[in-house]
Amino acid sequence: METDNNQKTAVLWGGRTSNKPEEAAFAFQASIHIDKRLAQEDITGSRAHVKMLGKQGIIPPQTAAALDGELECIALELERGTLHIDENAEDIHSFIEGELTARLGTEGRMVHAGRSRNDQVALDFRLYLKNSVPCICKELDATARVLLNCAEEHLDSIMPGYTHLQRAQPVTLAHHLCAWVSGIARDLERFYDALKRLDECPLGSGALAGSGLPLDRAMTSAALGFTRPTINSMDAVADRDFALELASAAAITQTHLSRFCEDIVLWASEEFKFIDLDEAWSTGSSIMPQKKNPDFAELIRGKSARVTGNLITLFTLLKGLPYAYDKDLQEDKEALFDSLDTVSTALKNFRGMLASSRWNIERMETACSGGFLEATDAAEYLVGRGLPFRNAHEIVAHIVRECIENGLQSIAECSLDTLRRHSPLFNADIFERLHPRACVAARSLPGGPARAAVICQIAELRARLDSLNGRAVQEN
Ligand code: ARG
């Protein structure tokens, strides 16, 4: 049989076709520019595979040792930068196998026994994610902790809470930040959950139908740190649920960041002025000399478009794909890598931007007066005195209307007589209840904005982060 003399650039399937595709066509179907990222995982997988081949007597033990040793060298050389990935290779699997064969000759040609690039790429992708997703989890955890530390400093910094972007009821900055962290804690849990289902080893599934060679799938699975081998060989090469799940976790995370950043963009405006972004985390305008723009927050918001897009890419890619492997699947990595990279840098930038910002707490407190944010509390006062809530709502609505007609800014500016005209249930103690701080203090239910309630939330969120991270240490 003829073999390509230049082992390094030979395609792995050269024996089947008499003509190599034209250069541009070859480049079109190649994936090295994306999957070169999987180089170390590819080598790790191959090392486990050759050891197993040796142990099972499929290749001579000394060949297994030689392959394993050479793979280790290639890994080190790549790491040190003394070996460069050849971008003319078809994909990372071809490059590594080509390199082995160029160095070891016939022995190199034994590495692929009982294996296909279909199970190989499924393995490499999973191994890569097992290594890289915990880094995103660390970013999420660090971000949550920065926010919780900030919350701890602002337990008494009152600010308006909004619905419909209209001032609704007073809350605190700490309460608002804990709302954000609640979302991040769920994100963290979603990533860990996806890792749990990803933790099965596809090696030994071959192209789709396994292998007639006496492979030991349990051995490679354990050696590579998986909980178990995948159940079905066709599923193992066709399945990309793990990519969908992680792309979804990434899209939800980025959507959270986008919403947080929308808050920040609003708060940084002259109209709100709740936050002063550090100059190092803002940009100017090329024409308007006075501008200090919240570009970082805007861009984090903007990048949610591509992360959501990547999720849709993956769904569209998988929809209608016949079992088992199809080359379409090669498109999976670019989308997921981009999502994970984007989320990871967005988290770093979000954290840096927030940690260097100054909060304008006087301005936030001032914004709590003047918008009748105490109205619900006035109604609840009447409910406390036995009035049905609907009546109380109506009475307070009338008081608010009257205040607006008379140019008053708050219910507290009414006299007790005026209030009593609306309801005899009002007593002098109503005025203590109308101050924004009193409104916050009254909302002391679990989950509410009162100081003690938020202290509990911070503790609960920290405990949740700890237990999620504990779980990561246990499982990885
Ligand atoms: N580059 C391919 C991918 O990323 C590897 C598997 C190729 N398999 C094949 N039969 N062409 O999916």
Q: What is the pLDDT of residue 20?
A: 73
Q: Is-catalytic flag, 164? A: yes
Task: Say if residues 16 and 94 touch (Cβ distance below 8 Å).
Answer: no
Q: How much distance in Å is there from the Cα of 180 to the middle of ligand 1?
A: 40
* Pocket residue to mutate for ligand 1, from 17, 33, 96, 121, most atoms within 8 A of Cβ: 121
**What is the pLDDT at residue 283?**
79
Q: What pLDDT does residue 26 have?
A: 83
54 CA from centroid of ligand 1 (Å): 25
Three-state DSSP at 359 gives strand
Angle at 77 between CA 74 and CA 78, to 5 degrees: 85
pLDDT one-digit tens code per residue, 79-116: 999 999 999 999 999 999 999 999 999 999 999 999 99
Quickly list H helices, 423-450.
Answer: 430-434, 436-442
What are 23-60's pLDDT values in tens digits?
A: 888 888 889 999 999 999 999 999 999 999 999 999 99
| CB-CB neighbours of 363 under 10 Å | 15
Domains of the chain: 5-113 (1.10.275.10), 118-360 (1.20.200.10), 375-434 (1.10.40.30)
Please name the helix (run of DSSP H) or strand (run of DSSP E) that holds residue 158, with its range, or none.
Answer: strand 158-163
Q: What is the pLDDT of residue 24?
A: 86
Query: What residue ranges of the chain have pLDDT lower than 50?
Result: 1-5, 476
Give every CB contact of residue 456 below 8 A, 6+ residues apart in sequence. Answer: 446
- Mark residue 137 as left, alpha or beta (left: phi above 0; alpha: psi -120 to 50; beta: remaining): alpha
Cis peptide before 324 (omega within 30 of 0): yes
Distance CA 271, CA 47 (A): 61
Query: Which listed residue (33, 269, 285, 398) is catalytic?
Result: 285
Write down the residue that tokens 């040793």 correspond to: 69
Mean pLDDT, the chain, integer: 94
DSSP three-state, residue 172: strand
Q: What is the pLDDT of residue 334?
A: 98
Q: Please tell me the pTM assigned to this model.
A: 0.93
Distance from residue 118's CA to the centre of ligand 1 (Å): 6
Identify the active-site residue in 18, 84, 164, 415: 164
Minimal CA–CA distance to 180: which of 275, 302, 270, 262? 262
Residue whose token pair is 């080509």:
98
Specify the 3-state DSSP secondary structure of 287: coil
The tokens describing 234, both together, are: 């066709």
CA angle 110, 112, 118 (to 5 degrees): 175
Whole-angstrom Cα distance, residue 303 to residue 89?
Answer: 32
Is position 84 annotated as part of the catalytic site?
Answer: no
Distance in Å, CA 122 to ligand 1 centroid: 9
What pLDDT is attached to residue 217?
98
